[in-house]
Structure 1
């Protein structure tokens, strides 16, 4: 089938599905100007990885971590939702989709208007204290670090180690979020996997769980993914344009 035929088919599946889950990776946010950190020139290619246990035990590692995050924050702070984010928010509002499960930490789904968002890897728009569990907006803390060059301490307990509310290498994914994601996928008749390489587990196992539970998988990604071989449809166009085309096709079947 042609791309247009595939888009029409996906629209029909969306219209008929009683439970659709949207799963997103870094690819949806590159159209908002946020680079995939794995891509050439991305933050991960220019800095060494600070593992969670090293962050916890080493003050110098915490400072290096904050330097990395302060640089990445500039890209997040300037970014705005793109057409793809807006379509997904619209689908949730219209109850075409249940919500979004995302590997992204940029918060753009919520800014676009999604209410039901499961952030598998946390959010870069907040910080959390590892010692007292208090949570804070990240903006003033990044500003404090940039001004002083010193890693900020927890404003609540005053001595706690502050870390971005993201999942670091070596840190467990939030169990409650992952369990809820599996609950959604176990009930899903359709999952759209958008802008993810579908390689990193356990996140990449979620579409597989949909398939095993009798649902369909639609993949939107210009590159090959780890699950192309089990996709019911693979679309390779630009994410914003493709989601907008599916949304337009929906008008004819709903």
Structure 2
């Protein structure tokens, strides 16, 4: 998903070192008006792997590209078989302490909004309301012919009925909800058309090789303009779709703080990078700000 999978970034040796002091996050939130930009790292504690950390899925898995999906019926068969299996695991994922902390900060009026690079819907499941899904959501499907948008859960039921007995064991589940299956395991999996026009269905997400819709990008740019500061949570900022907002904030003189255990492409634009686990760090920050975090998410993912 997101950009072309051939894009890569190797941390330079002169990047600013990270800190293990969560104080900069506390101070940023205490001032209010914080825009959160979250990445795959915030969902790893919910059992969803990221792309680029040590052991991340890009080391063994090439995500489906938009070009392959639209050009090949066999590619769509392979994608939907793997995604259908992955959805069973992906759909059961629940918000973790990091998601719940972000929702708590929003309830206490400390945030101006959330931009999520993830497609898992876990921010909303934790109770966050003002969320822009930069790369879309796996909870929806869209028809490439008529534009009709439908429920992924409803499609999952249709696919289950159309493919009785389909239950291969996946080698792994990836951040885009795609499961690792061999062609033999995919077999003759039956792909279903749009119920409205019979067209090709696609998950309502931005694939690699596909661009984020311009109105969505502009909405995010407006959020950056209106925010007092930017807090990046669990993103390597490797691809431009997220990095551009960090650059925008820094160029406007707005403070940027990053919480990510590994170096990121945006470290030079930030006041500091807090190199600590997200869930524990945000829980500590909430305690210091006297913000109560709900023990359980209020909604289903």
Shared fold by TM > 0.5?
Answer: yes
User: Residues 189 and 210 of structure 1 are in contact (CA less than 8 Å); yes or no, is this contact kept in structure 2?
Assistant: no
2:283 corresponds to: 244
1:222 corresponds to: 261
2:122 corresponds to: 108
1:69 corresponds to: 83
User: Residues 33 and 75 of structure 1 are in contact (CA less than 8 Å); yes or no, is this contact kept in structure 2?
Assistant: no
Q: For 1:169 and 1:81, how far apart are their aligned partners in 2?
A: 25
Q: Which moved more, 1:188-197 or 1:33-42?
A: 33-42
For structure 1, the 5+ residue unaligned runs are none
Q: CA RMSD in A?
A: 2.1
Q: For 1:59 and 1:39, how far apart are their aligned partners in 2?
A: 32
Do the aligned partners of residues 127 and 233 (structure 1) sit closer, same or farther apart at CA in structure 2, a change above 3 Å counting?
same
1:22 and 2:36 correspond: yes
1:188 and 2:202 correspond: no
2:191 corresponds to: 151
User: Residues 27 and 196 of structure 1 are in contact (CA less than 8 Å); yes or no, is this contact kept in structure 2?
Assistant: yes
Matches within 5 A, 1:11-160: 11-17=26-32, 19-38=33-52, 46-146=60-160, 147-148=162-163, 149-157=189-197, 159-160=198-199
Tell me the alpha carbon deviations over residues 116-172 of structure 1, each in whole angstroms, 9 at most, x when there is no partner. 111111111111111111111112323433442211111222x11101111112211
Give the helix-richer structure, 1 or 2: 1
How far off its partner does 1:74 sit?
Answer: 2.6
User: Residues 7 and 249 of structure 1 are in contact (CA less than 8 Å); yes or no, is this contact kept in structure 2?
Assistant: no
Do the aligned partners of residues 235 and 38 (structure 1) sit closer, same or farther apart at CA in structure 2, a change above 3 Å counting?
closer
User: Residues 48 and 93 of structure 2 are in contact (CA less than 8 Å); yes or no, is this contact kept in structure 1?
Assistant: yes
Q: Which moved more, 1:70-79 or 1:142-151?
A: 142-151
How far off its partner does 1:191 sit?
Answer: 0.8
Do the aligned partners of residues 224 and 48 (structure 1) sit closer, same or farther apart at CA in structure 2, a change above 3 Å counting?
closer
Q: Which moved more, 1:85-94 or 1:39-48?
A: 39-48
Q: For 2:285 and 2:65, how far apart are their aligned partners in 1?
A: 40
How far off its partner does 1:187 sit?
Answer: 2.3
| SS of residue paired to 2:43 | helix
| SS of residue paired to 2:242 | coil
How far off its partner does 1:41 sit?
Answer: 6.9
User: Residues 126 and 135 of structure 1 are in contact (CA less than 8 Å); yes or no, is this contact kept in structure 2?
Assistant: yes
Aligned length: 248
Q: For 1:236 and 1:70, how far apart are their aligned partners in 2?
A: 35
| SS of residue paired to 2:119 | coil
* Higher RCO (CA 8 Å, separation ≥ 6 residues): 2
Do the aligned partners of residues 195 and 40 (structure 1) sit closer, same or farther apart at CA in structure 2, a change above 3 Å counting?
closer
